[in-house]
Amino acid sequence: MQAEKNYSQHTARAYHSDMYDFADFLNKSNSADLIRCTRNIVRDYLAFLYDKQLKKSSIIRKFAVLKSFYKFLVINNIIEINPVASMSSPKKEKRIPVFLTENDIHKLFDLPGMEYRDRAMLELLYSSGIRIEELVNINLKDIDLLSGSVKVFGKGSAERIVPVGDMCLVAIKNYIDERRKNGQDCKINSPMFLNKFGERITSRGARKVLHGWFVKAGYMQKISPHTLRHTFATHILDRGCDIRSVQKMLGHKNLSTTQIYTHVTLESLRKIYDKTHPRG
C-alpha cells in the first residue's frame, strides 16, 4: 500500500484495523481463515456490521479493504479465486455535509480575544478548504504571501497549490510578526503553526484549540475543523465557482467526491425563486 500505491500512513493504519476486525470476526464465528474465506462468509460479515449499526461509510470502507486485500492475494498467487470480486459494494448514503452560514462565519471570526495563531489557523482552513492534517504539516516556505497561495500535501503526498484570501494573508502575517517579536523560530523550513512548546502543533492539538473557539461561538451542532472545509466548498459554489475548480482546490481525485457540495442553500433557492418566478 505505501510502497506501490503511495497510500498515507493514516490510510495504512485504517486498513490494518479493518483487516484485524475481519480476522477477529472469522476467529469468533469459527469460520474459515482468511485464505479459505468464501463469498457467503463475507456476506455474513457485512450482515454482522449492519447489525452493529455501523455507519454506511464505515461498512463501505471495510468492504473496499477486503476487495483490495483479496486482489493482492490473487496477484501474488496465494489464492486462485477472489471471494469478493463479483460482489457489489454497499451503496453510499447521500448526506448533505454540515456547514456554517456566512453569518456563522462572521460570528466566529468576530470573537474577542482570539490569539494570532488560532485566527490564522481558522482563516486558513476557511479560506482554502484544506484538511486539518494538511494544515499542521505546512511550513513557512509553503506560504507565498506575494501570490496569495499555499502549497499543501494531501492524501498520498499529492501536492497542490491553493489560493487564499486577503483576510487570511493578513492573519498569517500578524501571526508571523508575533512569532518574530517573541523570538520564535521563523526560518523558512520551520513549521507554520507551533504549539506552546515551540514545536509543530499536532492535528489533535489543533482540533482541541479550535474546538474551544467553536464552543465560544455557541454552535449547538457538532462542529469540527472539517466543517470549515465543507463551508468553504459550499460558499464558493453558492457564489458561482465552477465545480471543477472546487475539485482542484479540495484535492479530490474524483469529481463525484466533490459533487456532495452541489447542494444549494435555502437562501440561494430563495434568491433564484424571487428572481425567476412570475409571482415571486
- pLDDT tens digits, one per residue of 213-228: 999 999 867 899 999 9
Please say if 131 is a catalytic residue: yes
* pLDDT band at residue 21 using 50, 70 and 90 as cut-offs: very high
CB-side neighbour CA atoms (13 Å) of 189 = 0
Q: The CATH number of the domain where 116 resides is what?
A: 1.10.443.10
- Whether 204 is covered by a domain: the verdict is yes
Looking at the structure, tell me whether residues 110 and 210 fall in a common domain.
Answer: yes
Q: By the 8 A CB rule, do 200 and 136 touch?
A: yes
Active site residue 252: yes
For the chain, give the percent of residues with pLDDT over 70: 95
Query: Are residues 40 and 114 both part of a single domain?
Result: no
126 and 199 in a common domain: yes
The answer to whether residues 158 and 200 belong to one domain is yes
In this structure, the answer to whether residues 61 and 110 fall within a common structural domain is no
One domain, residues 131 and 41: no
Quote the CA–CA distance of 121 and 138 in Å, as a whole number: 11
Is 207 an active-site residue?
Answer: no
Which residue among the candidates 117, 229, 230, 235 is catalytic per the annotation? 229
Q: How many other C-beta atoms lie within 10 A of the C-beta of residue 181?
A: 8
Is residue 64 assigned to a domain? yes
**89 assigned to some structural domain:** no
- Among the listed residues 62, 131, 179, 230, the single catalytic one is 131
Answer yes or no: do 119 and 210 share one domain.
Answer: yes
**In a domain? residue 208:** yes
Let me know if 155 is a catalytic residue.
yes
Question: Are residue 201 and residue 136 in the same domain, yes or no?
Answer: yes
Residue 247 resides in a domain: no
Residue 240 Rama label (left phi>0; alpha psi -120 to 50; beta):
left
Distance between first and last Cα of the chain? 56
Does residue 184 lie within any of the structural domains?
yes
Looking at 39, 155, 200, 211, which residue is catalytic? 155
Domain match, 107 and 215 both: yes
Catalytic residue among 226, 248, 263, 271: 226
> For residue range 127-148, what is the model confidence (pLDDT) as tens digits?
999 999 999 999 999 999 999 9
Total domains present in the chain? 2
CA distances from 267 to 95, 100, 197, 239, 273 (A): 19, 13, 44, 12, 10
Q: Domain containing 71: what range? A: 9-75
Q: Is residue 92 part of a domain?
A: no
User: What are 47's three cell numbers?
Assistant: 450482515
Catalytic entry in 62, 117, 119, 252: 252
269 inside domain: no
pTM: 0.69
Sheet of strand 149-153, all strands in order from the earlier edge strand to the far edge: 143-144, 149-153, 159-163
31 pLDDT band (50/70/90 cuts)?
A: low
Respond yes or no: is residue 279 known to be catalytic.
Answer: no
Q: For position 33, what pLDDT does the model report?
A: 83
64 shares a domain with 128: no
**80-113 CB burial, b ≥16 within 10 A, e <16:** eebbbeeeeebeeeeeeeebbeeebbeebbeeee
| The three three-digit cell numbers of residue 130, written as one number | 484544506
Helices (H), the chain: 9-28, 39-51, 56-75, 102-109, 116-128, 132-136, 166-181, 203-216, 225-238, 243-250, 255-258, 266-276
Q: Cell triple for residue 188?
A: 523558512
Instruction: Verify whether residue 20 is a known catalytic residue.
Output: no
Contact 99, 230 (CB under 8 A): yes
